[in-house]
Amino acid sequence: MIEQNKYCQFCGTHLVRKYDRSKMRSFCEACNVFKYVDPKVAVVAIVPSNNTILLIRRAIEPHLGKWSLPSGYVDRGESIENALVREVFEETTICASPHRYLGVFSGKGPVIVHVYVATHKSGTAKAAEEVSEIKWFELGKIPELPFPYDQEIMSAYKTYLHNL
């Protein structure tokens, strides 16, 4: 679901829906302004090793207990590449660096996801922040991944491998 505020964050008035040119948006009749809701930006890392990739088991909501690709939100002012390095390190303690840009995935909710294939530079992966377990999974044995673009991401990764 796209997150929308119900009330104006400046004056507290209940927002109405109204056409802003061609698009229906939330509108504050007291402030006389449309409310634009920005997307969130996230980065996802596929870290391969031989025929495996690194997955983390989430120790936080959403999808607590599910296996997932290392990922996280990009901070304002931070480059996507730096966010990847930071998030992979925070979750797995390995140093990884972006290797190939796999693509951008958008349109399914509040988050726009940029995906890189990353190179494992140094360190041994272990469960760190917000992660309960870590494992290198063979590509044929990847568990069901919980986020909206995961299937598309894995399919883009297989195409990438095929074209190497």
Instruction: List interacting residues with Zn ion (CB under 5 A).
Output: 8, 10-11, 13, 28, 30-31
Q: Which is nearer to Zn ion, 13 or 155 (CB)?
A: 13
Q: Using alpha carbons only, give the angle 158, 159, 164 rounded to the nearest 5 degrees.
A: 95
Q: Which is nearer to Zn ion, 13 or 159 (CB)?
A: 13
Helix boundaries (H) for 12-149 = 80-92
Q: Which is nearer to Zn ion, 18 or 108 (CB)?
A: 18
Task: Write down the least CB distance from residue 25 to Zn ion, Å.
Answer: 14
Q: Which is nearer to Zn ion, 28 or 125 (CB)?
A: 28
Task: Write down the least CB distance from residue 7 to Zn ion, Å.
Answer: 8
- Judge contact between 102 and 117, C-beta under 8 A: yes
- DSSP bridge pairs for 105: 113
What element of type H or E holds 124?
none
Task: Write down the least CB distance from residue 70 to Zn ion, Å.
Answer: 40
- DSSP bridge pairs for 17: 26
Four-point Cα dihedral 118, 122, 124, 126, nearest 10: -50
Q: Using alpha carbons only, give the angle 60, 62, 64 rounded to the nearest 5 degrees.
A: 50
Task: Write down the least CB distance from residue 15 to Zn ion, Å.
Answer: 8
